[in-house]
Every structure is written in C-alpha cells, then in structure tokens.
Chains A and B, each alone.
Chain A
Amino acid sequence: MREFDLGRAVPRTEDFPLLRGRGRYTDDIALPRQAHLYVLRSPHASARMRAIDLGAATAAPGVVAILTGKDAERDGLGTFSSAVQRKRPDGTANFVPPYRVLALDRVRHVGEPVAAVIAETLSAAKDAAELLDVDWEILPSVTDTAAASLPGTAAVWDDVPDNICFIHRVGDKAAVDAAFARARHVVAQRFRISRVAANPMEGRTALGVYDERDGRYTLYAGLQGVHRTRVELASSIFRLPTSRFRVVSPDVGGGFGMKGSAFPELALVLWAARRIGRPVKWTAERSESFIADHHARDNVSDVALALDEHGMFLALRVETVANLGAFLATMGVHVATNNLGGLAGTYTTPYLHATVTGVFSNTSATCPYRGAGRPEASYCIERIIDIAARDIGFDPVELRRRNMIPAEAMPYKTGLVFTYDSGEFEKTLDMALELADWTGVAARRAEARRRGKLYGAGLASVIEIAGGPADFPLEEAIEIRFDPTGHATVLAGTHSHGQGHETMYRQFAGHLLGLAPERVRILYGDTDAVFHGRGTFGSRSASVGGAAFVVAARKIIDKGKIIAGHLLEASALDIEFADGRFSVAGTDRTVDLAEVAVASFIPQRVPRGLELGLDARAVVTPPGPTFPNGCHVCEVEIDPETGVVKIVRYTVVDDVGRVVNPLLLKGQIHGGIAQGAGQALCEALIYDHASGQLLTGSFMDYCMPRADDLPSFAVGSNEVPAKTNPLGIKGAGEAGTVGALPAVLNAVNDALGPLGIRHFDMPATPERLWRAIRDAEAKKMPLSQ
C-alpha cells in the first residue's frame, strides 16, 4: 500500500518549515520602500462627523499621506457588496448599507475606519493619527440584539427606521401551527447565543502594491480564498477589470470564517499604494481586531418543540433575531438564513418552521465563524430536547433515540430544507455512548458529589451541511500540471490556513495518480497562478476539492493513455492505468506516469498531432451537499463555591464520511471542539448597551480557551461514505464546533438541574455560574426563619 494514500495517517508535509520559524505569513513580507498605514477608528457607536481637521497631522514627522472618506469619494471608490439577499416584511429587497472603505460623514459602530494615515513607520503614523481632530456629534445607539427592533430604538440607518434588515421565513407554518394545536406537550425556551470573536492568532494584515507600468494592483493578505476577494475589490470598490488585480494569500495564521470577509483595509492599502506610488502595509493590532474584525453569532432564539404523549416530536418552531451589525459582511446574511436546515437535526420531526429577523445594530458586522449558523441551529434543537426530557420526564438518550432518522430511511428528506444522503445516527450515538462509558455516568456523578462538586453529563447528536449551499453547491477548481522532468504541480482553488491541505492533496495525488509525495508540489492562494477557485469555508475543501481532483486526474490518465499507447506500441484503448503505471492489458509491458509525463514534452515520443505536455484542469460542481454528523458526549464538574466549571471528559464519534487522514481529521475535530467549548464556557464579546462601547477589547477581557481549560478528547469514527461525493468524503472543519456548543451546555445544565435551574445560557463563566447557583440556593431557602 502506498504511504500517501487515502485513509492513511500521514504526517503533515507542512510542518518542518513552520516549526523552524520559516513560515511565510503576510506580515513576514517586507517590500523595499514600503510605507505603513494606520487606521484612525471611530471611538463612538454612532456619531456625525462635523469636520476632520488634518492640519497638524499632515505636518507631523514621517507622514506621507492622510486619506479620508471624502478622498475615497473623490477617487470614485465604491462600496462592499453583500452576497445574499433577503426580503423586508413588505416584500422589497433588504437594505444593503453603503459599506465604504472610510466613513464619509457618519459612523455607526466603534472601530469603523475614519481616516488612513500613511507614514514612513508605524509609530510615525500612530503619532500623527493622534493629532487628527474630529468634531463629533454623538448620537444615540443600539447594540442589544433583542432591543434593536423595539419601538423607540435609535435607527442605525435612516433608510431602515425599525432596524429590520429582513425577515426570512422557511418551513410549513400551517402544519407546524396545527401540530402545536394537537400536541400533548409543548416545551419552549428562549436561548441567547453570544457574540464571539474569531481571533485567529495572526490578526488581519494587508500589503498593497501598485505597479504603474502594468496599471496593476497586487494585494498580499491573510484570506480564505483569493478569487472572490479579487472580484470584490475589482468590481465593487475600484470598478476596474479583474485582470488588473492579483491577490496573494500566503501562509495564513488561522481564518475560522472571518478571513473570508472583504474588509476596508484590503482596499485601503491598494488605494494608498497607488496614491503614494509605494507599497503600503497594514497590520491589525489586537485591540483593533476586537473592534474592527467582523464578529460572529449573536442571536436570540425562541424555540418551541411540540411532542405527543410518546415523546415523538411533532413540530419545531424557531423565532430568531439575528444581529447583523451596522454593515452587512460579505456572508453576513448567509449565516443568518442559509444553514437553518440544521434545525431538523438527526430527527424525524415532520414539520418545522423558522422565522429569522435580521437586525441592524451599532456593532461590527457579523460574519461566518466556524459553523456559520450550524452550531446555532444544533444548539437550538439539542438544548430544547434536553429541556423537554427534563420537563416531561424522559431519559435524554431515549428521547433522542425514539425520534432518530433510521439509517434505512436514507436518503431522507427532513422537515426543513435538507435531504440527507447518508448517515447512521443511532449507531453513531451508540458508539459514542460506549466510548464515553455512559453507563458509568451515575457512578461518576455520585463520586463527584462526594467531593462536593456538581456533576453534569450532556450529549448532542448533530448534523451539519458541508460543501453547500443546499440548493446550489459551489464548484471548486483543480489543475494538475506536469513539467518536463515528470514532476507535478497541483493548483487548487481552495486555501489552506491550518487544515493541512498540502498533505491532503498529496494523498489525493497518491490515491488517484500513484504519485509519490515528493513529486507533487501544491500551490494555492495566488490569482495569477490558480485560474479559478471558491476558497475554503463551510467544511468543503476535502469533499469539493477532492471531487475536482478526481476529474482532473481522470483527464490526465486519459491523455496519458494515448501517450503510453504510443510508447508501448499499443492502442490507447488497450491501455490500463493502476497504481501510477500504464500497462497494455493482459501483458507485462508498462510505463509509469512520470515517464509518460517526461515523454509528453518530447515531439518524437508522442503521436503526431497530439498537443504537447501533460496537464488538466477541472471545475466541478457537486451534485449535492454532504452532511457530516456525529455524537458528542461531555461531562463537567462545577465547584459550587467558586462557580469554576471543568470539562472532565469529552467524547465524540464523528461520521465525516470517508476519512482522508485520521491525523488531520482528529486535529480538525479537536480544534472545532475547542472553539465550541470556548464559546460555551468563557468567550463573549460584550457591548455596553448604554454607550455602545465594546467592553471586551483585549485578551484580558475576552477569555480564550487555554491549555489548562481543555481535557484530552476521545475521538472515534463511524465512516459512512457520502453518496454525493465521488470519494465518499463529507467534511470535518466545523463538526467539532457544531457538536461542542450544545454538548457542553447540556452538560452544564445537567449539573445545574438539581438546583431547580431549567436553562442556563452561555457562557458558563465562573462568575455567571456562581451567581446562578447562589440565586437558585436562595430560592430554595425557606422564606421565614
């Protein structure tokens, strides 16, 4: 068996340079004569800019240029687009705010770019920015999701007095209403999904170059895909042909959805580079990242589940208010509305209806973050099931089991949007319970109680869409080019920023073409090299990149057969390909792919008239999305004296379809759980609703999970190949987060249940837990002594 084949635990080929400090991230690139850009940002949540006095700043030492919104308007710069449209209640299209590179005369959230100072050094730019004098008229603001559309609330945009960007409805409302009317039990609860920051360790960075000779812009930036960013900058902002832009995204220190957005700073460095005739670099400081990166999640959902007397789910009703921020991020509306199908979960609930009200607020725009609507959906269904089990008196495992979609029902059209191609949900559940030693829970609970700890166990059976969207899955592109020495370059439209794609694509090359890893170079993240791509998001790269690889490899083999036939003096129809070798059927005459590639460049060695060289490109649109799924089991202990919660055991069994590489897979699952658990336990972006100021603007205020906060995870796999992917791959990037958010909070709530607490919202910080425990105990105390 080949070392680099599908399914093998191959160590990453990326690691050695990274471990030697030889990665090449955007900020590691320094160009001759580069100037530094600093962004002056709004200190107010909502304000009118009466005037900006540049006077003293222009004359400050080292200053090269200062640019404002008025300059951008004069230079004809446009506004960023929103990729998804929905409707207002009156049926008109949703309002798309003018998302400028610099504010013109109004600011609408803390951190909005107001002016760009370009100087010889970063410190000179920062010093000069302090001299900028803006005459502000502070206006009322709104940051609270639930309050944004209440009457009397300040309007973020004059065009939208009620702050309602859109109302999106999906599902069969009449059937849901009828089911609720006849239900034996109706269980309802309001859930708050906190606002979080992606916080990749490499913040956003951009380096802009303008080449006067070609009239061409080059952007180096940490992105999740270069092609979409190129089109957005060319079409929406500069209004120039796309061919005049090159976008390069080298090593990227984590994206998690956020780096899929287009941001003002990407345009600012290019615009400034052209204005001053020098390269211009901008690197976010962490405090800037907190206020100016796009944020994520931030929903309030009213969830109601209707059940019959046997515990069968009759219908689910969800009414969500989704906070979009002041502007619409590229994929902001997508997050709020396109992954609602996940509400059906792994269950047969026949009728579901969801209403999402997207609201504007004076906050940074919300964008995809690991899961992008999927963890929110799985949280709603998995939390309400636990609450229903507790209210009615069912065992939470039994209640799930009873309603689970049976494996033999596949393909299964759920009650909301999705049709699942495959999955063995009950088997996956059983595997997880076994791996987690679920039968030992009672003993562990008793043992923890003896130590004075509140113990909780929670599970979540979850499913999410990958490689979507559901109705029109996006395509991906792969090009395979051989060179005259028989080595191959694979050019991918996806982008790796931690996932290990270089290793994965080498495994595809080994599996499909029998190529040794050292003969394959992987290239991505450069629009001048890679002809097309969608990029990496939505757990899609392995499945959709793999599907494109299959087609490109087939084209290589087809042409290779013609050349091999010529070399072996046989008809191409008699040539077979296996394990990297072409052979004449039924003989021992063979030639390997590398030899064929070498020959393909030599006119005398190919059939007369055949185009020289060996290369192929494929753009492949999958027939449907995939549905990774899994079962997570979390166990926690809470110290009632301090409110400190500890995850003591965590188990997951995932069905990500065919496993490409167990090492990469477990890494993705671990990372996904860490991010889901982070949101569940400690992370939250908090705005002060009175002032609109962000209170959590540094790592001292925003709690990230650390080495000490996480246990080691037990990870198992139930490989059920996807039917909608030629390699059977489903995807793994978001699976951990989708399961961890509900599993951790189900465990926390299980621990709090005996105190009479029905539902405790995220984040389960020590302070919030301590208060909840104290309040619950106070309630239990007799009123009179």
Chain B
Amino acid sequence: MTDVIELTVNGRTHQLDIAPDTPLLYVLRNDLELNGAKFGCGLAQCGACTVLVDGKPVRSCAYPVDAVQGRAVTTIEGLGTIENPHPVQKAFIEEQAAQCGYCINGMVMTAAALLKRNPHPDDIAIRQALAGNLCRCGTHARILRAVGRAAREMAR
C-alpha cells in the first residue's frame, strides 16, 4: 500500500508515492539520493543513520516516513555548505576525528543536535549524548574533543 507522502528535507519539499511505513532512511537514500545517512544496523542500535527531525536527532532506519510529514528533516548534506561547513563538521576535521567515516554522519548529527539544545555541554554531557553512537575505528577520544571544540567555536 502506498500513499502520497509530502516531506521536507534540507528545505526542499518532495512528494513521494510510497508505503507510509517505509523507514525514512530508505526514502532518503533510495528516493532522494541523499546518501550521507548510513545503514549501520537497521535496528536503531548504532546511530549511523541519524538525521534531525525538527532539530532533534532520530534514528532514520527505524523511523517511518509518514511520521515526518509536516516536519523539517535535516541530513548531513543540509547541515552546512561547501563554503561554510557547520562548526561540528569543521571541528571533526580539525581534531582528525574521522577514520573510515561511516559512523561520522551519526556522530556529527547527534553532536549538532546536542549543541543546539545545550550550547555549553561539559564532558559528561558530550559523552552521554554520544554514548548511543557506535564507532568501530575507535576514534571516540577525538570525537569527544571535536564536539568540545565545536561548542567553544560556536560560543564565540
């Protein structure tokens, strides 16, 4: 069963004829060709698929597309621009936090949401915010530092 679903992603509105229970991640990747959000587990257990819905991080692999109708979806492609990357993206580069790059979407999106909600997080708050995002390359320490750096940059 399909329905016409209207969704707004990175400021653009799309109308798609699609099964309403389709996970948002599949719609982003397969229908809108936005590949920044990654399939890591399909069970909302790793965080690689994180996108923002009305500014809050959600696991798009387990989030039905019809639940985002009328709400603003932001993916990593819409977080910053080539000329002006988001401070979190810049901080991740400055701290050399990426290795294979696969979990990085989720780390960046979760961190961006954290800093929007709490512009001055302490180390514990950063660790807690990212505790649900898995990284296998083991770059956790640099990721934590990058989020702290982004917070300081944004406070300037």
Contact = CB atoms under 8 A, between A and B. Distances in A.
B154 to A, nearest CB: 16
B85 A254 contact: no
A119 B130 CA distance: 37
Contact of B140 (A23, A253, A710): A710
Interface in B101-128: 101-105, 108, 126-128
B136 A18 contact: no
Contact of A667 (B36, B40, B96, B101): B96
Given A286-B42, A671-B137, A699-B46, A20 B82 contact: yes
Given A30-B30, A201-B48, A253 B127 contact: no
A21 B77 contact: yes
B63 to A, nearest CB: 16
A157 B45 CA distance: 37
A503 B82 CA distance: 21
Nearest to B96: A663
Given A671-B139, A708-B131, A251 B101 contact: yes
Contact of B46 (A21, A201, A712): A201
B1 interface: no
Contacts of A711: 141
- With most chain A CB atoms within 10 A of its CB, the pick from B41, B43, B75, B102 is B102
A683 B75 CA distance: 32
Nearest to B145: A712
B138 A673 contact: yes
Contacts of B144: 707
Given A254-B136, A672-B138, A707-B130, A202 B40 contact: yes
Contacts of B85: 16, 19-20
A201 B37 CA distance: 12
Contacts of B101: 14-15, 18-19, 23, 251, 253, 498
Interface residues on A, range: 35 or more
Contacts of A21: 34-37, 75-77, 105
A28 to B, nearest CB: 4
A18 B142 CA distance: 16
B38 A667 contact: no
B89 interface: yes
Interface residues of B, number: 54
A200 B43 CA distance: 16
Contacts of A201: 38, 40, 46, 48, 100, 102-103, 134-136
Contacts of B99: 254, 498-500, 667, 671
- With most chain A CB atoms within 10 A of its CB, the pick from B37, B94, B142 is B142
A193 to B, nearest CB: 20
Contacts of A233: none
Nearest to B138: A674
Contacts of A285: 41-42
Contact of A498 (B29, B100, B108, B143): B100
A777 B99 CA distance: 44
B107 to A, nearest CB: 9
B93 A15 contact: yes
B133 A20 contact: no
Contacts of B143: 707
Given A19-B98, A28-B35, A705-B140, A286 B134 contact: no
- With most chain A CB atoms within 10 A of its CB, the pick from B46, B82, B138 is B138
Contacts of B131: 706-708
Interface string A705-734: 111101111000000000000000000000
Contact of A699 (B36, B45, B108): B45
- With most chain B CB atoms within 10 A of its CB, the pick from A14, A28, A201, A252 is A201
B130 to A, nearest CB: 5
Nearest to B36: A21
B38 A25 contact: yes
A27 interface: yes
Interface in A461-515: 497-500
Contacts of B103: 201, 253
A663 B96 CA distance: 8
Contacts of A626: none
A254 to B, nearest CB: 4
Interface in B52-84: 75-77, 80, 82
A704 B47 CA distance: 13
B45 A700 contact: yes
A286 B136 contact: no
Contact of A256 (B37, B43, B93, B136): B136
Given A19-B93, A673-B138, A708-B127, A253 B102 contact: yes
Contacts of B137: 254, 498, 667, 671, 674
B138 A671 contact: yes
A19 B99 CA distance: 11
Nearest to A200: B136
- With most chain B CB atoms within 10 A of its CB, the pick from A12, A19, A202 is A19
A755 B82 CA distance: 58
B108 A19 contact: yes
Given A20-B85, A21-B75, A708-B128, A15 B38 contact: no
Contacts of B108: 19
A648 to B, nearest CB: 14
A292 to B, nearest CB: 15
B49 to A, nearest CB: 11
A202 B141 contact: no
A719 B137 CA distance: 24
A11 interface: yes
B98 A12 contact: yes
- With most chain A CB atoms within 10 A of its CB, the pick from B89, B99, B144 is B99
Given A21-B36, A201-B102, A254-B102, A707 B133 contact: yes
Contacts of A672: 138
Given A19-B92, A201-B38, A254-B102, A713 B141 contact: yes
A706 B134 contact: yes
Given A500-B99, A706-B140, A708-B128, A202 B93 contact: no
A253 B38 contact: yes
Contact of B89 (A19, A28, A674, A713): A19
Interface of B: 29-30, 33-43, 45-46, 48, 75-77, 80, 82, 85, 89, 92-94, 96, 98-105, 108, 126-128, 130-144
15 contacts: A14-B98, A21-B36, A23-B35, A25-B38, A201-B134, A201-B135, A201-B136, A202-B100, A253-B38, A254-B137, A285-B41, A675-B136, A699-B41, A705-B138, A706-B132
- Listed from nearest, the 3 A-B pairs whose CB atoms lie closest are A21-B36, A674-B138, A253-B102
Given A19-B85, A25-B38, A707-B133, 10 more contacts: A19-B93, A20-B77, A198-B136, A251-B101, A254-B102, A498-B99, A498-B137, A698-B41, A707-B143, A707-B144
